[in-house]
Each structure stands twice: as C-alpha cells, then as structure tokens.
Structure 1
Amino acid sequence: MRVLTANLFSDRTDPAAFVEVLISNEVDVACVQELGASLADPIASVLPHGGLFPNEATRGLGIATRHPVEIASVPIPKRPGVSALLDPAHWPGLPRPMEVINWHVMGPHTWPYFPNPNTRRAHLRQLDEWMWQHPQMPRAVLGDYNASPIWPFYRAMRSRLEDAVLLSGDPPPRTWPALGLGGLIRIDHCFVSGLTCTRARRVELPGSDHFGLLVDLKPVE
C-alpha cells in the first residue's frame, strides 16, 4: 500500500501538479495538511473515498483514498486528527483491518510560545487515548509533526511507534523547507505499528514549502 503525507502550504500547492503527483506515484492513501477549497475537488477526482475537510485558516486536513474507508475525527483539542479505517472487504490483499491517522502537530513556533511544549505533550496523551482503544490494530500515523528527529516530540513518538523511514532502510528524506534550500530537516513523518515499510522517499509538491513523504507499507506477517 502506497501512502503519501503532504503539507499543501495553506492551499498554495498547484492543483494540477498535485493531481499528477497522485497519479504518477500510484498513491493509494493521501494524508494532506493545510488543505484549502481549491485542492479538495482535484484530490477527490483521483482518490474519491475518505474525507477531506478544507479550511482557509491553515487547519484543513483530510485523508483521500482509492477504496472506501470509515472516517472518524481523533479528538485532540485545537489540533484534531483524521482517522481512516481500512476494511479488507474493500482493500484487496489486506489481511485484517488497518488504521491510518493524519495529524498536523502544533508547531513550537505557534503563539503563545511558552505553554506549547506542555500543549504538545497533552496532545500526545490524547493520541495515546485514541490508540489504546484498539492497541493491537495495525496503524500508520502520518503528517507534519513540526519536529525533527532531534526534538523531544519526535523521540516521544518513537517511544510509542516505529519510524517507517528507518524501517525501510532508505536514506531519511529531508522534507522542509522545499522552497529555495531543497530540504534541511525532516519534519514530515510516518510512524507505524503492526506494519513495516519497504520503501520511503520524498516527492516534490509544486507550490508547497514542504516535500511530500511517500511510503510503501505492508502488514507484519
């Protein structure tokens, strides 16, 4: 299964170019952040299932999929995630149900600055509560985490889940900034449990300040 996470830079990503990214890379599941109205319909034209929730205040989020899924909101205050439950009845080759979560984590640069480390930890506890409802569920948790591997938040995620990029054995792709510098740090991630990753790479997102992260996932046998 091929899964993409892409920050669309407050809807500045070129719609036609992003559609081509989805088609040419044969994406099965697209997790998008900073989704606005101009990109929602083009994405749905390629990946017609799932749930896309555009918002003009950089908070738009969604998961678009090739086959039907069950969509739910992950209740994280101010930064809710989106969950997609994949059922083997609709996903050929999937041996058991699997969950994909898309989450845009609050950045440490978000005002007010000083409470944010505590807020990020509180948000992570909310994610824990969601995952503990079905602890054996194979899942992938993707998105813009506003945290590179040297940050405590990344390490906290890795204490719970595995970094798919590291499982793949591919060189970890630096995903931000895409504008001008060609990527200095890795802040877009895919964390997994009950899954492994056979390939990971970055893809260009014309108009965005991020590169996308594209991963090939399969259940652990």
Structure 2
Amino acid sequence: MLLVCGVAWTLSPWWGVFTDRLPVAVAWLLPAAQSTWPTGFAVAVVAAVAVVWLRCRRAVAVGATVAAVLVCAATVLVPGVLGRAASGTPGAKAEGTVRILSVNTWYHQASDAALAAMAREMDADVVVLAETSAAEVAAVEAATGLQSVLPTSTRTRGGGTALLVRPSWTVDGSVADLHLTRHQNPVAELENFTMTGVHTNAPAYSDLVGGWVTEMDDLRTWAASVDGPLVMAGDFNATAAHPELRRLMTGLTDCTGGPGVADGLLAAPTWPRAGNIPVPVLRLDHILVRGFTCADAGVVGVPGSDHAGIWADLRW
C-alpha cells in the first residue's frame, strides 16, 4: 500500500487539471502533493526497499538500501545545489537585452536598502515587487530612476504588487490593474512589449484553492488575448509540477536561465528562504515570456524576504 501511495504521489503532477472539482476541504492536498512529488518518489523508493528486504537475498537487499539512501539524499540535496548554482547577481547587461527583476518582499519585510541597491547594481529595466509597500517602492524608485506605473495597493496586507519601469518606455493610457488576481495586478504597454506583475493566491489553504485555479485560468485567457511580445513576472504560487501553471504557459517560456541551464521541474527553487526550513525547495516565482529569447537568468538572495529574487535578461 505504501508503495502504491508513493508511486501515485510521484505521478501527481501528471494527473491533469481537476483541483477545483475536489471537495473544498481537501482540494489543497492535490497542489500540495504535486509540488512535493520528490517526497512521494522517496516514499516509493523506501517502500520498494522494504519489499526487497522481505523477498530477496540479504546482499540484494543491502544494495537496494544503499541505492535508496542515495536517491532519498538526492531529493533533499538537489534543490539546494540547483539554487546555489543559479544564485548570484548578474554581470553587466548585454546590449540589446531587457533585464527583469522580480521579488516577493514577504509582506514588505525585505530590506528597502538592499532591494534598492540590488535593482540599481543590476541596472534593471523592469522591477516587479510583490507584497510590497509604498515606502519600499519609493526606495527603489529613488535608487534606480524607475517609476511605479500605479500607486501601491493597500487593500490587503500582502496585496501590493508594484511594476516599476523606465519612465520613457510606458505608452500613455496603457496602464491598468487587471484585477485578475486577489492581489494587485499591474499591467502596462511598453514601447515594444506588454508587461504585467503577477501575485496569485496560495493554493496551500482550502479557502484559497478555488481562487488560485480561477486566477490561473484568467491569466491564461488574458495572455492569449494580448498581441505581440509579452512578459508576466512575479509570484505565481505554482511550480512546473502544477498542471495549472503548465496550461498557463501555453505559448510562453519560463525564463530560468540561458542555454544548458536546468528548467521545468529542475529549475532553481525560490521558496522558502526563511522560517523553520530556510532552504528553498520550490520554484514559485517565474518570468514567463513570449516573443523573447532568454539570454540569461538566475536567482538572488534578498535580505528579509522568504523568497529568492529572480532575474532574467531577455533578447528580441
């Protein structure tokens, strides 16, 4: 039974999109299982070893145990290794590229000074700040010369999502709040592409799962309606293991690195970087693009935040 459960857990990312059809009280269990599928794989491996011990010779059982230990260790160590490999402030921006920086500031607890310095040193063209505040936005504006396209929302504690861009890039009359998510959802038509900041519900709670599924569907519908190059950056509260995100990404690319850099299920994790387990294991933050080539990308630590920041250099 344990082996069957482990295999089912491992395969949960491929079960399809039906989270919203489950009873509300248990619906959150499916996205939770999907995002933690490596744990299910480890459970399946341990169960398989137990079967081997019961049915095979001792030498075979010992070998299987060693292999299982290595596999289980990998499920713990690989996310950290991937995160470290992709970490670091990017170098000088190449000519002809657009640099995007996105940070969930953990209810605006991230260091304003560190955020401002990071955006300035990166020479970011666009900055997205989720769970931010007016003071945090002002600090980044002062340090970089970028401007927020909308005032920061205060309708909920973590509801402020800021989209900061180079002032000369914004097309007059194009700025709006899409209101496609529970949190602020700023969008602006820039000179050569459409840019939006995203922060969705977290499907870890039974009362938020339905909203998260709806938000992902609404974002997908909106993205399909936009003509030309598009960038969607922020905290999607979803990993590549979630069918809802993969469906949203139809026609889009998740910019996680340059050529040869792991992506998809093996992309560098961004959360959690604080709390009881300050080792990122999930890639919840994404820069989704259409009409661009991902020249380079990575993650960067942000003092005071429970998320790693993500950045990407995009080329037309």
By the TM > 0.5 criterion, same fold?
yes
**One of 167, 175, 178 as aligned partner of 2:273:** 178
Could you tell me whether the CA contact under 8 Å between 1:5 and 1:31 is conserved in 2? yes
Q: TM-score, normalised by structure 1?
A: 0.84
User: Which 10-residue stretch deviates more, 45-54 or 180-189?
Assistant: 45-54
Aligned pairs for 1:98-109 within 5 A: 98-109=193-204
Cross-structure match for 1:65: 165
TM-align CA RMSD: 2.1
1:47 shift after superposition: 3.6
CA positional deviation for 1:184: 1.2
Question: How far did residue 188 of structure 1 move?
Answer: 0.4
Structure 1 residues 166, 112: CA separation in 2 closer, same or farther (over 3 Å shift)? Answer: same
How far residue 183 of structure 1 moved from its aligned partner, in angstroms, is: 1.4
Quick one: which of 9, 30, 53 aligns to 2:152? 53
Counterparts of 1:107 and 1:126 in 2: how far apart (Å)?
16
User: Sequence identity of aligned pairs in percent?
Assistant: 23
> Runs of 5+ in structure 1 lacking a partner?
88-96
After superposition, the Cα gap between the structure-2 partners of 1:105 and 1:152, relative to the gap in structure 1 and judged at 3 Å, is same
In structure 2, what is the Cα distance between the partners aligned to 1:77 and 1:23? 29
Q: Deviations over 1:116-147 (max 9, x none)?
A: 2x43332233224433443x310111111111
CA shift for structure 1 position 29: 0.4
**CA offset digits 1:16-69 (Å, max 9, x no partner):** 111111111111100110012331210111243232414361111111113332
1:112 counterpart SS class:
coil
Using a 3 Å threshold, how does the CA distance of structure 1 residues 168 and 72 change in structure 2: closer, same or farther? farther
Question: What is the 5 A alignment of 1:69-148?
Answer: 69=170, 70-76=174-180, 78-87=182-191, 97-113=192-208, 116=209, 118-134=210-226, 136-148=227-239
State which drifts further: 9-18 or 45-54. Answer: 45-54
Within the candidate set 94, 98, 108, 1:11 is matched to 108
Residue identity in the other structure for 2:152:
F
Structure (1/2) with the larger strand percentage: 1
User: Which one-letter code corresponds to 1:124 in the other structure?
Assistant: M
Aligned AA (2:239): S
More helix by share: 2
Runs of 4+ more than 6 Å apart = none
The gaps in structure 2 that reach 5 residues or longer are 1-97
Bigger Rg over Cα: 2
TM-score by length of 2: 0.60
Q: Could you tell me how far apart the structure 1 residues matched to 2:313 and 2:251 are?
A: 20
The aligned runs of 1:22-41 (5 Å cut-off) are: 22-41=119-138
Q: Equivalent residue for 2:310?
A: 213
Match of 2:255 in 1: 164
| Cα 1:169/1:59, change in 2 over 3 Å | farther
Choose which of 231, 241, 246 in structure 2 pairs with 1:155: 246
2: CA distance between counterparts of 1:10 and 1:28?
23
1:47–1:130 CA distance, 2 compared to 1 (3 A): farther
